[in-house]
Amino acid sequence: MMKEIIVDKKYHEKKLNKIILEELSHINYPTFCKLLRKKDIKINGTRTNKDILVYENDKIEIYLPKELEDVEIEVDKIYEDENIVIVNKPANIEVTGANSLTEKIHKLYQDCGFMPQPCHRIDRNTTGVVLFAKNEEALEILLEKFKQHEIEKHYLALVYGIPKKKEERLEAYLFKDNKKAQVYINDIFKKGYQKIITKYVVLEKRKDNTALLDVEIETGRTHQIRAHLAYIGHPIIGDGKYGKNEINKQFGKKYQMLCSYKLKFNFQSESGILSYLKGKEIELKDINM
């Protein structure tokens, strides 16, 4: 699949990576570098393998691999009222950016006065519930509730190996490397690291040396669950970034077996027009893991 971009004035004399990463937000920096190495980017008809400067009205052509093509999905709504809509996101699609779940939602609500906005995110290949606000007032309330930890997000994770403890509250520190689109975990605080807290409960131990976990994060950092579980020796099966290739091949999984399966509205403070959600739980059923 080929994407074409005509360079706007705001990108005049900017590096190639800036326009591509901003205009095609589902592409990260490592993927951009890979496209360069394979000479899958043309500037004014000439292939390039360098992160060169671009100029206004230049024509950029990017040849995208199949996994980065636009994804045609049917939006699976699992709950909706006048203020919110909750969607079950499949794998291989971002929550925001080009060709994203948010774009699909906006197409459905294009005749409404307010385009529903996501209140949180999950990774491209993590499946499960994503909460959208359908008006400005609801959006402000929900963003504040997430900030104050008054909405619980629970995940199902299928990991390799059986944790020794049935349940645990893990604390560590995470560093995000934006250039590599990867995070690193350490038990000791270092400059640039942020504290993370990940809780898990073992729901099921399986004979194939895997375990199904309920995971809750008290801090919502990039790739937190995937990196933290891998750090303690229990990588998520199918995770190509933090898992192990031989294990993923053994189980035949292309995407991480991680699903955002439950939201709990534990409102402790004033919640305005969303007061009716207090105490409500939204949970996916019949999840195949």
User: Which residues are known catalytic residues?
Assistant: 123
Interacting residues of 195 by C-beta distance below 8 A, sequence separation 6+ = 171, 172, 173, 174, 189, 219
From the list 147, 158, 151, 219, the residue with the least C-alpha distance to 183 is: 219
Contact 278, 267 (CB under 8 A): yes
Phi then psi dihedrals of residue 277, to 5 deg: -85, -10
Q: What torsion, rounded to 10 degrees, do the Cα atoms 17, 23, 26, 29 define?
A: 10
Task: Indicate the SS3 state at residue 226.
Answer: helix
Q: How many angstroms from the chain centroid is the CA of residue 162?
A: 26
Burial label for 169, CB within 10 Å (0-12, 13-18, 19+), is exposed
Task: Calculate the alpha carbon distances from 68 to 48, 85, 149 in Å.
Answer: 20, 26, 33
CA-CA distance, 250 to 219, in Å (whole number)?
32
The CA-to-CA distance between both ends of the chain, in Å, stands at 31
Q: Are 75 and 108 in contact (CB under 8 A)?
A: yes
